[in-house]
């Protein structure tokens, strides 16, 4: 059994939009409330609150804020489960610390059950009249949950997750290391390279013109909200282009391989650098790894993370020789020990694979990111550790 998500456009009427706004608001309120509470309680008592405690406290919160009772209560419980997943990702070092949800970002809530698609193709949610939905492709499997979301440009979507039988990848699928970078978006240990399309940078000029126009409009004017919409549309286009690109690569990787080893984003984050910040957000590695994980679940491909730093580009993956003088400018080199000839990124990807399979002694990667920052005096802003990003 595997899960698959289908995304369809929703066209709520005025009344439905107003109710959806309420649902988004309540979900955001509950998420932020318990995130703040959990952070505060931890700071005071070093005790971690989790879903079990939150769910109990939610009842009290609902009697304090009556309007929370107007929306589907299962959606609110689901919000707590999503918060729990965000913490789990953080502790697994796959994601950053959970962020507060903002009204200006994508708005969403999830309905875990009691929803259905009627014969007219309308989406029926608890406490709401049926919403018009455009089903542009056939949906297979049994629907399990639906996430309703609204993007900043004002469009509504439903993402429906279904459970279905999907053939798993052959068990003799390959094992690869995957190096994510800025010069190339992704490099595999098999030698495949995927270019970095830099969608954001390509729209930068247009975006700047639009933003300048926006800044000249008077606050509260209708021209200002039009200008804001124009800016949001550019962002949306970039996001869709990027998403499309990442969907294609992630699908190819999980369907051809049985195991993928990549560096955890904690390691990548360590080498964050102010000059590269825009480029790093443009490649959206986090989104990509999330895609690999959930598609991996469906296609039977495990995603492993290397969460310890080791000089993956400088180490000869054949004999272990460390080339100390390897600078970012050197793209290819020959190992003086075993005479292997390396493309630096493919060598790095090979090292990631070997390390995650414990074929490299642990002491070679003995430092956690925090230790390394301490030992090398590496500053997260100076980017003195560019080595590991493969950025050049
Ligand atoms: Zn060598």
Q: Give residue-wise pLDDT tens across range 242-264.
A: 999 999 999 999 988 989 999 88
Q: Say what the pLDDT of residue 380 is.
A: 39
Q: For residue 212, is pLDDT > 80?
A: yes
Q: Which of 44-53, 76-85, 159-168, 362-371 bottoms out in mean pLDDT, i.e. has the lowest?
A: 362-371
In this predicted structure, the answer to whether residue 124 has a pLDDT above a threshold of 90 is yes
Instruction: Tell me the mean pLDDT in the region 61-72.
Output: 93
Question: How many angstroms does the Cα of residue 319 sit away from the middle of ligand 1?
Answer: 4
Judged on CB neighbours under 10 Å (0-12, 13-18, 19+), 100 is exposed
Whether 184 and 141 share a structural domain: no
Distance (Å, whole) CA 170 – CA 174: 9
**Which has the higher per-residue pLDDT, 333 or 266?**
333
Distance, CA 323 to ligand 1 centroid (Å)? 9
CA-CA distance, 203 to 230, in Å (whole number)? 13
Higher pLDDT, 360 or 78: 78
The four Cα atoms 371, 373, 376, 380 give a dihedral, to 10 degrees, of 170
Q: Residue holding tokens 């406490």?
A: 127
Q: How far is the CA of 244 from the centre of ligand 1 (A)?
A: 38
> 332 CA distance to ligand 1 centroid (A)?
13
Q: What percent of the chain has pLDDT over 70?
A: 86
pLDDT (0 to 100) of residue 363: 62
Flag whether 325 is in a domain: yes
- The verdict on residue 221 lying in a domain is no
Distance CA 132, CA 12 (A): 6
> Is residue 224 predicted with pLDDT exceeding 60?
yes
Provide the annotated active-site residues: 179, 263, 345
**Is pLDDT at 271 greater than 70 in this prediction?**
no
Please, which pLDDT band fits residue 267 given cuts at 50, 70 and 90?
A: low
Same domain membership, residue 185 and residue 106: no
Averaged confidence pLDDT in the chain? 84
Q: Is the pLDDT of residue 128 over 50?
A: yes
Per-residue pLDDT, 168: 54
- Let me know if residue 271 belongs to a domain: yes
Question: Is the residue at 225 inside a domain?
Answer: no
Beta-carbon neighbours within 5 Å of ion ligand 1: 316, 318-319, 321, 335, 337-338, 340
Ligand 1 geometric centre to CA of 317 (Å): 7
- Say whether pLDDT at 374 is over 70: no
- pLDDT value for 163: 85
Q: Is residue 15 part of a domain?
A: yes
* Domains held by the chain: number: 2
CA of 316 relative to ligand 1 center, distance in Å: 5
Whether 362 has a pLDDT exceeding 50, the answer reads: yes
Structure tokens at 82: 């999503």
Helix-helix angle 51-64:14-45, to 10 degrees: 120
CATH of the domain at 278: 3.30.420
- List the domain range (segments joined by +) for residue 255: 174-197+230-389
Average pLDDT over residues 91-108: 86
> 263 C-alpha to center of ligand 1: Å?
22
């Amino acid at each position: 059994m595997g899960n698959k998500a289908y995304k369809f456009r929703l066209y709520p009427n005025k009344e439905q939009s107003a109710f959806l706004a309420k649902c988004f608001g309540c979900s955001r309120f509950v998420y932020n409330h318990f995130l703040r509470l959990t952070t505060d309680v931890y700071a005071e008592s070093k005790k971690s609150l989790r879903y079990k405690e939150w769910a109990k406290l939610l009842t009290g919160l609902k009697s304090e804020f009556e309007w929370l009772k107007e929306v589907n209560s299962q959606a609110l419980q689901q919000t707590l489960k999503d918060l729990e997943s965000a913490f789990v990702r953080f502790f697994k070092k796959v994601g950053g610390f959970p962020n507060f949800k903002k009204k200006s970002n994508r708005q969403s809530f999830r309905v875990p059950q009691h929803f259905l698609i009627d014969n007219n193709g309308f989406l029926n949610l608890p406490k709401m009249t049926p919403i018009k939905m455009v089903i542009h492709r056939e949906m297979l499997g049994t629907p399990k949950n639906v996430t309703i979301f609204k993007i900043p440009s004002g469009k509504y979507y439903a993402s429906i997750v279904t459970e279905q039988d999907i053939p798993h990848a052959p068990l003799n699928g390959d094992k690869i290391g995957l190096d994510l970078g800025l010069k190339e978006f992704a490099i595999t240990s098999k030698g495949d390279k995927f270019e970095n399309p830099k969608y954001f940078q390509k729209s930068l000029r247009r975006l700047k013109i639009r933003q300048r126009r926006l800044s000249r409009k008077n606050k509260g004017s209708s021209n200002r909200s039009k200008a804001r919409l124009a800016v949001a549309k550019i962002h949306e286009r970039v996001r869709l282009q990027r998403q499309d690109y990442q969907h294609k690569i992630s699908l190819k990787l999980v369907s051809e391989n049985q195991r993928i080893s990549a560096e955890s984003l904690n390691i990548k984050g360590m080498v964050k650098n102010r000059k590269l910040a825009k480029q790093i957000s443009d490649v959206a590695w986090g989104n990509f790894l999330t895609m690999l994980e959930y598609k991996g679940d469906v296609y039977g491909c495990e995603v492993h993370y290397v969460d310890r730093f080791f000089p993956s580009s400088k180490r000869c993956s054949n004999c272990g020789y460390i080339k100390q003088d390897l600078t970012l400018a050197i793209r290819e080199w020959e190992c003086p020990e075993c005479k292997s000839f390396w493309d630096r990124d493919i060598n790095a990807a090979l090292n990631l694979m070997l390390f995650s399979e414990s074929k490299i002694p642990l002491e070679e990667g003995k430092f956690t990111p925090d230790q390394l920052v301490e030992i090398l005096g590496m500053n997260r802003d100076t980017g003195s550790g560019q080595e590991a990003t493969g950025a050049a």
